[in-house]
Amino acid sequence: MRLSFLAPGMLELPGYPSVDFVHLAGQRIMPSGQRFGLTSSGFRDGTSDMTERPPMEINVRESAGVSVLEVHGRLTIGEPSDQLHAALQSVVQKGAKKVVVNLNGIPQIDSSGISTLVRISIQLAREGGVLRLVCGPGRVRDALTVTRLVEAIPTFESESAALSNFA
């Protein structure tokens, strides 16, 4: 599976490589290239001192019959939320009924990221499955608490606690 990525504010320029996300055999989604192009503040050639956001990375593995997705990077509107949705959709389509999403590698989440988690939770529930979240204290946990998502989707501080909840 290949997912194309175009950062907000960047223009597609012919002749410049784009960033593709490659779904590797080990179920790891990661960047395979770099996007060059014009931004609203000038030309980005990868060597500028502009703040670059690292791409989101999702590691998918099985643990005691539970699909575990470890997410690293900002979970915000656009490609990051779409990337997580695609990874979760892939796991569900393969028949997973027990899914844990580990958000401890996420420094930031917005309403789009929260919406992705809610959509998959609802889909799993309709298909007889369950979603558990792992999220320790911090900004992301605060966002999940304020939106009351921790009441709708069981949320644990450690992966071991989330996995033992399935037993």
Instruction: Evaluate whether 58 touches 26 at the Cβ level (below 8 Å).
Output: no
Task: Please give the pLDDT value at position 54.
Answer: 72
Task: Please give the pLDDT value at position 51.
Answer: 53
Placement of tokens 């005691």 in the chain: 64
Taking 50 as the threshold, does the pLDDT of residue 86 lie above it? Answer: yes
pTM given for the model: 0.70
Taking 60 as the threshold, does the pLDDT of residue 42 lie above it? Answer: no
| pLDDT band with cut points at 50, 70 and 90 for residue 47 | very low
C-beta contacts of 143-151 below 8 A and 24+ residues apart = 143/109, 143/114, 144/109, 144/114, 147/114, 149/114, 149/117, 149/118
Q: How far apart are CA 28 and CA 37, in angstroms?
A: 26
Taking 50 as the threshold, does the pLDDT of residue 60 lie above it? Answer: yes
Query: Which domains, from first to last, does the chain contain?
Result: 2-165 (3.30.750.24)
